[in-house]
Chains A and B, each alone.
Chain A
Amino acid sequence: MQRPGAQADFAAVDALLDATGPVDDGLPAVAERRRLRRAWKLTQDQVAVKVGVSRETVSGWETGRWEPEPGSKPRALYVHLLTGIQKRLEVREAAQQPQTRNDGPTAPGADTASQNTAHAERAPSAAAPPPRVPSSKRYASTSRPARQVRPGRASGKDAPGEGELFIADRVHEALSENGGDAEAAIADLEYKAIPDAMHLLEISRRTGRYDFTYHAVLPPIFDKKPGREGNDIWEARPKWSAPDAVLPPGAEVTALDVNGAYLSALKAHLPIGTLEHHLGPAEGGPAYDKRRSGVHLITPPDWHHEALPNPIGNREEPGRLWVTESTLRLLQRCSSPRYGLCEEPLIHESWTSGESEGLLEGLRLTFAAARKNALEKDDEVTLAYVKAMYAKFVSTAGSSTYNRELNRQDWVHIIRSQAFANLWGKAYKAHTNGLTVAGILGTDELHLIGDWQTVFTEGRDIAQVKIKNTYTLTRGEAAGA
């Protein structure tokens, strides 16, 4: 009885040995795994979801802390993913045309469908080869893939940062949840824009030098008055049209829109801590300190330029007013010898704190890079998402019930007036280049007479402008302004 049983046991062991053991299933070496994933712009999270393990496990595989269990399904998927990336990279390198739609030999045939639908068709299948083929195409720039296969360059200067990957992830997620329906995905993303922007802020501040205050305790000048009135801070919103005297009747006016005005305005001199009160130089206080930022009670200088808008906007009330750092700096610039447009503003009182222009710089760069990338790829979903994030961030960073994590009303005012100051700068640039400024209004509208293409370039990029409309002056008055 014992002998045949033992024989069967030995046979079973043999069978086991035949069936298992270190098989070469093509799993790339430990050092290669991370490089491949990054070259295809995948996050560990994305890989983990598709392969069916936790992110930590994927991390362990990449560092060699542990290996995917031989013969398991996750391992097969992981091998398939990495070899798929390898093959695609080779194909891309070989064909010097990285933008071709049909470059992956193993890619399922969805090429005729739109990118979004292709996306949705592939998403539900767990065994689908490399996830996110369409979207990774979208995020890879034309010149990048060829460079990335070279080892050592993967973490180069233009590799996407953590924030950009987060944005790409969220867009990918929203698209697959909505079956590729771009409009529904945009709605979903906009709904989550505020917490996502706050998450990006956290990411961007990780290596920051300053620990800023999230909830500033602000002086009463920031208190909103009952009714529909705002607080005492004057943001210098422009609403100006040139007087008839400087407008040639019957001239053709082009209304231009500045792209991403609030996005650019995130680079402003922002106070880091809580504002402290002190007298201004006009009242015997300390001299103006450009390393501090906040709000100031000033007497604005007189403005005697018919062809240029007043930097403090269309304020009709004379006398002192509370302005933000951005407006004050603009006035000081105007009074500098280089501009020589007005007297220096008198500062009577100030609420300031130590400042940095870089507090939101990381966040701004993330948004700008994602926006630029989306424009290149014609990716309207990411574009709308990024726009919602920065616009809502600016509008809810103060005492808003929609964003409880951040309460910096002072920042909101400073960022807004920075956008207005930037717009004034564009008007000034047009003026000095011989154009007639017919009006500026709101955050981003610039009405010009003359050949504006010599000064600004048309386009959707941040430094560029787009045409809103053109009209002819009838009675020498800029419409709308």
Chain B
Amino acid sequence: MPERNINFGLFGADGTKGSQAAADVLDRLALEGGIISPVTTRRGLNARLNYLTRSAAGYRAMREAGITVTPRTLRAWRRRTQTPSPANRERIDAAYRAYRRHNIANHLRQRLNAQGGTRVEIHPLDQTSVQNRHRRVLNFRRFTIRNWDRIIHAWDTGDDQALADAWDDTLPDLGSEWGKYEYVTAVAFSA
């Protein structure tokens, strides 16, 4: 089957959508240079609040993440006289991730596009629970994505459907069997 899967997992194959795996890698790349301490620690929380309250865009990111506290509470958070609730901590973390992702996207795109693109490795899906007669030969594959603009744009805006389309449109470079690699165990690349 060369095209996209219609009913993935019908025979027991296990895997995630390649675009989702790619988004995970991009998230890791975006966040690994950022704040490492978890939001549950005082250090991690302070770092996130500092990052988010440094510009109007940061405040906007907090609003978009669902933080609806009054400016007075926010000031109290920053002055450490009051600590956010667990739910709000989660939202702060989500706001931080979204804001960081947005800030890093352009730079990441440049790095991925540099020097003729970036080599991507595809670790094929797991078919240990598939009956022998339905198993396919799936090899580890490697190819180069030369233009990352669409992928990064979709990832930055958080549009999963657009990201899936952009990712799948690169897959035909793998040859006529590209449909086998729509779902994967993992994809790996770096920038």
Instruction: Give every chain A residue within 8 A of B119 (Cβ-Cβ).
Output: 214
- Shortest B26–chain A CB gap in Å is 13
A274 and B123 alpha carbons, distance in the complex (Å) = 8
A407 within 8 A of B: yes
Chain A residues with Cβ below 8 Å from B186 are: 217, 274
Is A169 interfacial (CB-CB < 8 Å)? no
CB pair A217–B185 under 8 Å, yes or no, is yes
**Counting CB contacts under 8 A, is B110 at the interface?**
no
- Whether B37 and A215, one on each chain, are in contact in the complex, defined by CB atoms closer than 8 angstroms, is no
* Contact A215–B121 (Cβ < 8 Å): yes
* Residues of B contacting A101 in the complex (Cβ-Cβ under 8 angstroms): none
Contact among B36, B37, B142, B185 for A211, CB-based, below 8 A: B142
Residue of B nearest to A214 (CB): B121
Taking CB atoms and an 8 Å cut-off, the chain B residues in 112-162 that contact chain A are 119, 121, 123, 140, 142
> Are B140 and A215 in contact, CB atoms less than 8 angstroms apart?
no
A153 CB within 8 Å of chain B: no
Which parts of A266-319 form the interface with B (CB within 8 Å)? 273-274
Residues in A neighbouring B37, C-beta threshold 8 A: 226
**Partner of B123 from A217, A401, A404 at Cβ < 8 Å:** A217
The smallest beta-carbon distance between B42 and chain A, in angstroms, is 13
Tell me, rounded to whole Å, the shortest Cβ–Cβ distance linking B64 to chain A: 27
**Given A211-B142, A215-B121, A274-B123, CB of A226 within 8 Å of CB of B36:** yes
Chain A residue numbers with a CB within 8 Å of B140 are 211, 213, 273-274
Chain B neighbourhood of A213, CB < 8 A: 121, 123, 140, 188
A405 in the interface (beta carbon within 8 A): yes
Q: Min CB distance, B155 to chain A, in Å? A: 18
A407 CA to B118 CA, complexed, in Å: 14
* B188 CB contacts on chain A under 8 angstroms: 213-217, 407
Counting contact residues on chain B (CB < 8 A from A), the size range is: 10 to 19
**Chain A stretch 384-415: residues in CB contact (< 8 A) with chain B:** 401, 404-405, 407
Evaluate contact between B33 and A401: CB separation under 8 angstroms.
yes
B156 to chain A, nearest CB (A): 20
8 Å CB contacts to B: which residues of A225-253?
226
Chain A residues whose CB sits within 8 angstroms of the CB of B121 once the complex forms: 213-215
Looking at chain A's contact residues, is the secondary structure mostly helix, strand, loop, or mixed?
Answer: loop
Q: A215-B121, A401-B33 are in contact. Are A226 and B190 (CB under 8 A)?
A: no
Interface flags for B32-74 (1: CB within 8 Å of A; 0: not) read: 1100111000000000000000000000000000000000000
Bound-complex Cα distance A107 to B188 (A): 54
Interface contact B190-A405, CB-CB below 8 Å: yes
Interface string of B97-118 (1 = CB under 8 A from A): 0000000000000000000000
Does B77 interact with chain A (Cβ within 8 Å)? no
Cα distance, A226 to B142, chains bound together (Å):
32
Q: Nearest-CB distance from B119 to chain A (Å)?
A: 7
Alpha-carbon distance between A216 and B187 when the two chains are bound, in angstroms: 9
The CA of A404 and the CA of B140, in the complex, are separated in Å by 20
Bound-complex Cα distance A211 to B122 (A): 13
Residues of A within 8 A of B123 (CB): 213, 217, 274
A407 to B123: give the CA distance in the assembly, Å. Answer: 15
Q: Mark A207-229, 1 if CB is under 8 A from B, else 0.
A: 00001011111000000001000
Task: Report how far A362 CA is from B93 CA in the complex, Å.
Answer: 46
Q: Which B residue's beta carbon lies closest to that of A273?
A: B140
Distance between Cα atoms of A368 and B48 in the complex (Å): 48
Which residues of B are interface residues toward A (Cβ below 8 A)?
32-33, 36-38, 119, 121, 123, 140, 142, 185-186, 188-191
Q: Contact residues of A with B, CB < 8 Å?
A: 211, 213-217, 226, 273-274, 401, 404-405, 407
Q: Name 24 A/B residue pairs within 8 A (Cβ), A-sorted.
A: A211-B140, A213-B123, A213-B140, A213-B188, A214-B119, A214-B121, A214-B188, A215-B121, A215-B188, A215-B190, A216-B188, A217-B123, A217-B186, A226-B36, A226-B37, A226-B38, A273-B140, A274-B123, A274-B140, A401-B32, A401-B33, A404-B190, A404-B191, A407-B190
Minimum-distance CB pairs A-B, first 7:
A215-B188, A217-B186, A404-B190, A215-B121, A274-B123, A226-B36, A217-B188
- Known contacts A215-B121, A274-B123; 10 additional CB pairs below 8 A are A211-B140, A211-B142, A213-B121, A213-B188, A214-B142, A215-B188, A217-B185, A217-B188, A226-B37, A401-B32
